[in-house]
Amino acid sequence: MAPRSFWKGYLKLSLVTCPVAMTPATSENEKVRFHTLNAKTGNRVVSQYVDAVSGKPVDEDDEVKGYQRGEDDYVMLEDDEIAAVALESTRTIDIDSFVPRDSIEWIWYDKPHYLTPNDPVGEEAFSVIRDAMASTNTVGISRLVMYRRERAVMLEPRDRGIILWTLRYGDEVRDESDYFGDIKDSKPDPKLMTLVTKLIDERTAPWTAKMIDDPVQDKLLDIIAAKKKGRKRVAQPKPAAAEPASNVINIMDALRQSIGSEGRQKRK
């Protein structure tokens, strides 16, 4: 059974409007989660805001947002002042503009959501918007209040639905030239390229979600299962520390050894 939608509202393009529902495309519900406990009593530990100077607890009604302008000097903002600059509507995805589908690089993508029609009557309008974007190879850009913040979002047609991606803010993505700019623009030896390409070919396989399983999660579940049964889990030996890599002077020899090793493993 598909999870219940966590957001319901309207998709709007000019005068075309249709009711939609949205559900996060990813989930961490199956992840092992821990609570912090008092080891002496077994009771849960709760967090509480305290005054940094007096050390006394702060009532929720006395909590305000503060923007630091100097040492121990803050501009205080009330919740209604912050809310006043947010979007008027938090329930309408009004598509402001469209851009070529491949013009937004992956680094701007934040969190994906499934967007679906929420009423059979509005399904035709939803389908028209979706198919028009697909046929023009474009994605829609809008703004929406989600997770208590106003966010830029991208609407991407996908199969019979639409993927709504929240996008990172402009000041959240660092300029790649600050990191890649000092790398020399030199072309590698063609012979090296041939060997590396062969190594890639030998390791190429169809994509499957099994490639990104979480082994730590499985081990934690084993420990929890053992503790539920009242027995101690046999401690696994720690992996030996990796030997420091020797200085590889001849890249050609290293690649040939790698390819030979790959071939032997496949024959086993």
- Per residue in 155-169, pLDDT (tens digit) is 999 999 999 999 998
Any idea which residue has 């998709």 for tokens? 11
pLDDT at 248: 47
Residue of higher predicted confidence among 5 and 197: 197
Going from the C-alpha of 10 to that of each of 15, 89, 90, the distances in angstroms are 12, 10, 10
Residue of higher predicted confidence among 265 and 75: 75
Q: Residue 12: pLDDT above 90? A: yes
End-to-end CA distance of the chain: 42
Extract the runs of DSSP E, i.e. beta strands, from 60-177: 65-70, 73-77, 92-94, 97-100, 109-117, 138-146, 149-158, 161-167
Residue of higher predicted confidence among 222 and 99: 99
pLDDT at 48: 86
Long-range contacts of 212-217 (CB under 8 A, 24+ apart): 217/31, 217/32
pLDDT at 208: 86
Nearest-angstrom CA–CA distance, 54 and 106: 46
- Lowest-confidence region among 43-52, 175-184, 206-215: 206-215
Beta bridge partners of 100: 138
pLDDT at 167: 95
Mean pLDDT of 225-240: 66
Residues 100-139: tens digit of each pLDDT:
999 999 999 999 999 999 999 899 999 999 999 999 999 9
Using a 10 angstrom Cβ sphere, with 0-12 exposed, 13-18 middle and 19 or more buried, the burial of residue 13 is buried
pLDDT at 88: 59
Mean pLDDT of 126-153: 92
